[in-house]
Chain A
């Protein structure tokens, strides 16, 4: 069984986001970029499936700019076998919408025929939380979102999902699309020898046009602004003073 893992290149989660003064978006020039943290968890899980003998090959896919090669090399260094880069824009500021990403992934699935897709539940840049669900719709496959436990058992997979109020366990028919949540695993770091090895692993490059997908956005971004800043309040000296202040404002 092949495992397909889509990985997104996003602003590093430690970097403070700066909104451009002209309202045109978030400044991504000369900013540290990394693999979306949820996608790291997906890559890790794919490698574990292979290590457990349940998968034969792990294929990482990234969609966006040419620089996504770096993100794919990270996945290869973690242990993915090969990578596919789908160039869909030349501008690092252009975010390809989940619907277009799902269509591109569908085209990749038609070629590669994986048994399972492991994706991050959400990208920390656009916070859409949609690509996996959309891909499941386009393939007509089952979907298991927000997954914190996964076990593949022949023609089905049993997954535990993080839902409001607790956990839900469902059984999904394979092939399936799984989106992973934080507690599924702790992603490994790539070792130096593996980083060197990753440079020699195959990385195919295609374009969105090659796959016949129109990536024209459906949502026009009219403007991007700063959220309303919250004014800092006061420091109180003691629990007594805190209780007094809370009573004053009617909070308790």
Chain B
């Protein structure tokens, strides 16, 4: 089996964590070639070459590839597809945009959010916000899949694979980038953070979200939010944890003022240790929490922030 793993490259830098986790899944299938795509991605390609188990790195550079636009990148991946049995990528907003397009161009189904590789044709994936796990066997010639990174350990950096530059494809010119609004933050990235502190509707306002951020900063944690908090405008959407947001599995997840709707649990229930702070002792979040504290969050969170060394 020959697997083409599409690396996650942001602004020319390899997202090591998500790529290394998807690599672990890819290695269970066969020999892995990594594709780095960007307006400049030689650094990302060098970083990918160091990941253990990578046999080769392809680097495709073009201005058309600088902003994760689906149409030119899908065309590039399709042009390479005849050499591979599998095309996979860590499940990110970029790959979720691009890979289904690739699959349809190849007339194959996409296998989204793979959580386990059973064999080269058979995969597990969650459905219904993780309330059921489906095992699917693909009959397609080429398997195109996104890998849910939270369920795979990251591969080590112990390799030195060969890096080859490849030509870019013609840009179909269907869309153009205008601007990015990316919040600059010193906090760890949500999907790869070791600790995540999330706030829900119970936090009550955008201003009061600062106490969630205060606890997060004390713990060196990323900040998350429930869909209810995002819908209410307390937190930006890129903080959203859940079925329609990000899926996280940190060592410690602290849920503050979050009731624990099914769609939120779908995004965090694989965390190693879950702490819930909620004043409603009947809140469903307590059913998945290792440690539950029934308390007013405005009282408990500042105390907790103080008491953590």
Contacts and interface: CB of A to CB of B under 8 A. Distances in A.
Interface stretch (A51-59, A73-81, A159-167): A159-167
B304 A172 contact: no
A127 B127 contact: yes
Given A171-B176, A234-B292, A235-B292, A164 B238 contact: yes
A90 interface: no
A182 B96 contact: no
**Chain A at the B interface: SS class:** mixed
Contacts of B307: 239-240, 243
Contacts of A225: 132-133, 135
A55 B140 CA distance: 39
Contact of B286 (A99, A217, A235): A235
Interface string A125-148: 111111111111110011111101
Among A133, A162, A171, A225, which residue has the most Cβ atoms of chain B within 10 A? A133
Given A127-B127, A133-B101, A166-B182, A183 B252 contact: no
Contacts of B43: none
Contacts of A232: 286-289
B132 A227 contact: yes
A172 B174 contact: yes
Given A225-B132, A246-B252, A162 B273 contact: no
B236 interface: yes
Interface stretch (A11-19, A107-115, A188-196, A205-213): A11-19
Nearest to B194: A251
A170 interface: yes
Kindly name the residue among A98, A122, A126, A252 whose own CB sees the greatest number of chain B CB atoms within 10 A: A252
Contacts of A171: 175-176, 178
A137 B105 contact: yes
A28 to B, nearest CB: 11
A210 B117 CA distance: 37
Contact of B70 (A126, A131, A133, A181): A133
Interface residues of B, number: 92
Interface in B250-287: 251-252, 262-263, 269, 272-275, 281, 286-287
Nearest to B110: A130
Contacts of A218: 108-109, 138-140
B13 interface: no
B136 A221 contact: yes
Nearest to B139: A218
B21 interface: no
B134 A168 contact: no
Contacts of A145: 70, 96-97
Which among B100, B101, B111, B309 has the greatest number of chain A C-beta atoms within 10 A?
Answer: B100
Given A166-B183, A220-B137, A26 B286 contact: no
Interface string B67-97: 1111100100000000000000000111011
A164 B104 contact: no
A166 B101 contact: no
A165 B183 contact: yes
28 contacts: A17-B132, A19-B131, A99-B109, A126-B127, A130-B110, A142-B174, A145-B70, A165-B183, A166-B238, A167-B180, A167-B181, A168-B179, A170-B176, A173-B173, A181-B237, A217-B109, A219-B138, A220-B139, A227-B130, A230-B269, A232-B286, A234-B291, A235-B281, A238-B293, A239-B295, A243-B308, A251-B273, A252-B252
